[in-house]
Amino acid sequence: MADTPAPLPPLRETIRRHGLDARKSLGQHFLLDLNLTGKIARTAGDLSRGTTIEIGPGPGGLTRALLAEGAGHVIAVERDDRCLAALAELADAYPGRLETRAGDALETPLSHLGPPPRRVVANLPYNVSTALLTNWLSEIARDPTVAETLVLMFQKEVADRLVARPGTKDYGRLSVLTQWLTDARIAFNVPKEAFTPPPKIVSSVVKLDPRPQPRAPADPTVLQRVTAAAFNQRRKMLRGSLKPVSRDPQALCSAAGIDPTARAEALSVEEFCALARTLQ
């Protein structure tokens, strides 16, 4: 971007002046390292077009990086009203490029946040990170063009689940639903010390690119039911674990071309889709 922003105080100074002590109840772990916030922003690719959505900007460290990396229009959704004054100062430094929405991201569909192409970039609040992702996956299932990419910081153990392959201990319902709809990869890991205050465990930045078409056809609600049943009792064979969704799981599996004695973690995304189609 050609515009040179007005000088901003160091982020630590912004946090101090606005009294933004981190609150655990809001999952607040702030990023102050400019190299790291710049790297996260660049992972999202070209930020100049459409809308860059940031969930939970907090004092605005990552927001600064998004703007400095050329984001033309950032919409930042923040639940903590204490952060709004600091974000207003940032908006003044980048006139017309940062819009802050005070509110709960769990109640804000991506489709309501600016024109496409949209990309979501966020250091997510850990306590609601999987709930947010589940909402966004439901939106992507309805419209894969709702976001062109999502670059999201998760706890590493959640990130590992999102990209897990069949036959591994991390493979579960969230792996199937994520990989059904997106190409998912871990971009890089982030040590605890990078955050203020540091969380208990390592984090990972994940890049999710919604696929133009899901990996295989299936109704989202039926696929959710099948995966929930199968993984709720992941040690049982499918002929047992699928009883909550089918009166005759053995016949269901056979009709879908799946071994009824297999366990949930052995099935590929495509095989879960086959089960969902047969059930329907």
- Note whether 228 binds ligand SAM by CB under 6 A: no
d(C-alpha 192, C-alpha 232), whole Å: 31
Helices (H), the chain: 11-17, 34-43, 61-68, 84-93, 129-142, 156-163, 173-181, 220-232, 238-241, 249-255, 269-279
- Residue 124 neighbours by CB under 8 Å, 6+ apart: 27, 55, 56, 132, 152, 153, 154
- Note whether 123 binds ligand SAM by CB under 6 A: yes
With CB atoms as reference, the residue minimizing the distance to ligand SAM is 56
d(C-alpha 226, C-alpha 222), whole Å: 6
Are 23 and 30 a contacting pair, CB within 8 Å? Answer: no
Q: How far is the CB of 10 from ligand SAM (least distance, A)?
A: 14
- Note whether 73 binds ligand SAM by CB under 6 A: no
Residue 30 vs 272, nearer CB to ligand SAM: 30
- Note whether 210 binds ligand SAM by CB under 6 A: no
Q: How far is the CB of 93 from ligand SAM (least distance, A)?
A: 17
Stretch that binds ligand SAM, among 100-108, 218-226, 251-259, 271-279 (CB under 6 A): 100-108
Burial 212-225 (b: 16+ CB within 10 A, else e): eebbbebebebbbb
Residue 52 vs 123, nearer CB to ligand SAM: 123
Structure tokens at 107: 């109640």
Are 128 and 79 a contacting pair, CB within 8 Å? Answer: no
Q: Which of 44, 64, 74, 79 binds ligand SAM (CB under 6 A)?
A: 79
- Note whether 62 binds ligand SAM by CB under 6 A: yes
Residue 62 vs 273, nearer CB to ligand SAM: 62
Torsion over CA: 46, 49, 53, 54 (sign) = positive
Residue 123 marked ligand-binding? yes
Residue 95 vs 197, nearer CB to ligand SAM: 197
**Phi-psi bin for 195: left (phi > 0), alpha (psi -120 to 50), beta?**
beta
- Residue 119 neighbours by CB under 8 Å, 6+ apart: 44, 45, 47, 50, 51, 52, 53, 147, 148, 149, 150, 151
Residue 58 vs 214, nearer CB to ligand SAM: 58
Stretch that binds ligand SAM, among 121-129, 166-174, 247-255, 264-272 (CB under 6 A): 121-129
- Note whether 77 binds ligand SAM by CB under 6 A: yes
Residue 186 vs 245, nearer CB to ligand SAM: 186
- Note whether 172 binds ligand SAM by CB under 6 A: no
Residue 56 marked ligand-binding? yes
Q: Rounded to 5 degrees, what are φ and ψ at 51?
A: -130, 135
Known binding-site residue numbers for S-adenosyl-L-methionine: 29, 31, 56, 78, 104, 123
**Positions that interact with ligand SAM (CB under 6 A):** 26-31, 55-58, 61-62, 77-80, 83, 104-106, 123, 125, 128
